[in-house]
Structure 1
């Protein structure tokens, strides 16, 4: 076997560590990722032209993977701008304002709402719904946009997605790989999800309160652009566009339409991308109808201008992330799509190969098994998917449980939780973009804010798992 093919894994790992180091130093990682793609391409193809072309192909692959998220965020932004201009947002959020009266209430209420919606429809459409409605309220009571993003992120992409108790996509993958019933994984994951959720959100809240009191966390911390549901700081509402009666009617109809979306998702079993598409399409139709109603003769032109503004926002936010996502997608199936079938025979992708190699080099006992499953899950989550490596976690859990004689369901659930918390959208910056974009937050700043709580949560959850095996 070609030595250069074997070295792909080590070069990929070296660049991952280098990128993490640059993030810690708060330096931009775009150029590092592009160099990483070039280096992997040269090792894989031994061709300069293919390597250079691979950078462009990697960008295209990343855009294809992210385009659904880019579009729904752009459409929500377009609608939000119109709601601000017409003053409808003021009427919509007034009832919620009475309930959310402090930053603490804003953090926990937004998080719990996000978690419940994510259980049924996964986090991507939930981010658009929760952020557009509750972000202005949270900002008004003093919770920074970064704090809102943390709440949506940890409760949605963390707690809800890692357990996946309703849709059961994640436990089905891990259970099949481990050779056990889905119900066993679900039962075993309940205490681990509870521990992980309580520890992580409590630690995140404590850090947030401490930094707010010290002045380290302010209303502008991490802000890179006006949020998708920003307040009048960027645009003042124009009361002459709509009468108070029309504003009130719109404030009732718009949430009702999104509520009907939720009913449709449930009745038609719409999940993931299909659910996101329904939310995006509804936002677009509402925006067009309101533009025609508010601007009358200029409604057609203004609808287009709102749409353009939304797309400008979406691509401005995602622009710096596309090169980074392109590199990390190479850790999974994207490598073959971009550079051809050049990986060693029997390879399951660079990231999964690294996780499997780790599992095969450690001694096997209860404590080491738990730590290894957490580590393997975290490594396989580095591609930003969270789901790509959980089958590997299930397979490794099966091997370890056979060696120690027990704990297959707990180990499987532990690997699933680690993979999704890291890769599903709480630590990997290109995976947590939906929440960051809706809140107008730098995704790398959000990843840094999540890092300590998630690492502490994983450590505590791993220790608890040792006693449950």
Structure 2
């Protein structure tokens, strides 16, 4: 059955296209996002007051959703300032520079480590763990910060999260919606995840190397965050204490990993553990370095971290607010004003697309990819995968086979787009830890991910 699209849905599509155009033109998207929120409120409620109030309400909703990520980024950055100022960072990374000797090794080693940790704890805590330790090593090896962000992002929020073989949150949702065992979805997703992962990471690395050779990527020393890696210690610290802290920091993060295994911590709980550990390291290092002035310096470093965090998130909140309005944020901000039977704007658009295209194996694969991409635009990645499972079941019934492959394909497309490789606010953890512009990271991921999705979709057609 089809869903008749309301004016609100048309307005949403129009502004999505406008935002994408602004990104392609490398223009700021804040103004068009705010105007889009206002028009969504106006078409949905017919009230100017509700429309204007909806702008502020959508900002509150977006900030609430992003707050855990904002906090952990702020604390990690504050901790990095302390470690750099005291020279602990330099001492900590020196042994690792012997393992990662060039930019190529840095890209692939960081990516593989990120993928493995993300399988067990999901990418957000993995970004904090790896970024705090491996970023300075990669920069010393010659890999720019944007390269580190691309590697962590594609391997973590892309490969690991789209397969989700250990925690099995994603395949469980899609399998339930498709009415098939979760093991079927996992088995069907393995070849698709491999193809998507190999194509995307290789293409991204090729673009990265080409731009590095052409001088289109600024050296790491020009990055306002990572340039501190090359500076000498500003605060004197006894050599013994410095070496102790240099050993203690990675040990504490390894203990975090152990605790995640032992106490079965996932997602937000794992992120909170990493954030709390970073805060304790910040306090200990500051007090040891500044002694009597330590109390004041702890506050100073926290302020530095929060200033950085909100400076990074400031441009992202308006666009996040707009895209959240395409999903659960709409009813939260404006109330139950969508047409009866609606499941949210992005899900409605996905259903409408599926019901307006003639069916064949090729069309089914293309449609599941398109539905995954559309529903991934809300920046969650997970909100649309149940729809992908339901449509896969519908298409497979008509085709007579391929339900597991179609389900896995829709899951992969939704998570690669919305889980954190293309939607700017979803990839903020990697961008913020590396001190790069999240919009620039999204643009750099665009061609590799699009090429990967096309190749994976074509490959899936042969499996149906």
How high is the TM-score relative to the length of structure 2?
Answer: 0.97
Is the 8 Å Cα contact of residues 199 and 457 (structure 1) preserved in structure 2? yes
Using the alignment, how far apart are the partners of 2:461 and 2:95 within structure 1? 46
Is the 8 Å Cα contact of residues 136 and 231 (structure 1) preserved in structure 2? no
Aligned pair 1:122/2:119, yes or no? no
Aligned pair 1:463/2:458, yes or no? yes
What does residue 228 of structure 2 align with?
Answer: 231
Using the alignment, how far apart are the partners of 1:266 and 1:399 within structure 2? 38
Trace 1:281-430 onto structure 2 (pairs within 5 A): 281-430=276-425
CA offsets per residue over residues 414-460 of structure 1, 9 Å max, x none?
Answer: 00000000000001111111111111111111111001100111011
Aligned to 1:226, what secondary structure does the other structure show?
Answer: coil
What does residue 12 of structure 2 align with?
Answer: 12
Query: Any gaps of 5 or more consecutive residues in structure 1?
Result: none
| CA apart distance, 1:352 | 0.4
What does residue 168 of structure 1 align with?
Answer: 168
CA offsets per residue over residues 235-262 of structure 1, 9 Å max, x none?
Answer: 541362x211111111111111111111
Is the 8 Å Cα contact of residues 5 and 43 (structure 1) preserved in structure 2? no
What does residue 196 of structure 1 align with?
Answer: 196
What does residue 438 of structure 1 align with?
Answer: 433
Using the alignment, how far apart are the partners of 1:72 and 1:397 within structure 2? 37
Using the alignment, how far apart are the partners of 2:253 and 2:241 within structure 1? 18
Is the 8 Å Cα contact of residues 5 and 44 (structure 1) preserved in structure 2? no
What does residue 451 of structure 1 align with?
Answer: 446
What does residue 265 of structure 1 align with?
Answer: 260
| CA apart distance, 1:285 | 1.0
Aligned to 1:428, what secondary structure does the other structure show?
Answer: coil
Is the 8 Å Cα contact of residues 5 and 342 (structure 1) preserved in structure 2? no
Using the alignment, how far apart are the partners of 1:244 and 1:166 within structure 2? 42
Query: Any gaps of 5 or more consecutive residues in structure 2?
Result: none
What does residue 37 of structure 1 align with?
Answer: 37
Is the 8 Å Cα contact of residues 115 and 159 (structure 2) preserved in structure 1? yes
Number of matched pairs? 462
Is the 8 Å Cα contact of residues 58 and 338 (structure 1) preserved in structure 2? yes
| CA apart distance, 1:217 | 2.3
Using the alignment, how far apart are the partners of 1:219 and 1:430 within structure 2? 25
| CA apart distance, 1:231 | 3.0
Using the alignment, how far apart are the partners of 2:315 and 2:345 within structure 1? 24
CA offsets per residue over residues 146-197 of structure 1, 9 Å max, x none?
Answer: 1111000000000000000000000000000000010000000000000000
What does residue 159 of structure 2 align with?
Answer: 159
What does residue 276 of structure 1 align with?
Answer: 271
Evaluate the alpha carbon distance shift between residue 27 and residue 220 of structure 1 in structure 2; reply closer, same or farther with a 3 A threshold: farther
| CA apart distance, 1:5 | 7.7
Further displaced range: 10-19 or 289-298: 289-298
| CA apart distance, 1:220 | 5.8
What does residue 98 of structure 1 align with?
Answer: 98
Is the 8 Å Cα contact of residues 122 and 271 (structure 1) preserved in structure 2? yes
Using the alignment, how far apart are the partners of 2:100 and 2:172 within structure 1? 37
Further displaced range: 372-381 or 283-292: 283-292
Using the alignment, how far apart are the partners of 1:296 and 1:393 within structure 2? 57
Is the 8 Å Cα contact of residues 139 and 220 (structure 2) preserved in structure 1? no
Using the alignment, how far apart are the partners of 1:149 and 1:232 within structure 2? 16
CA RMSD of aligned residues (A): 1.5
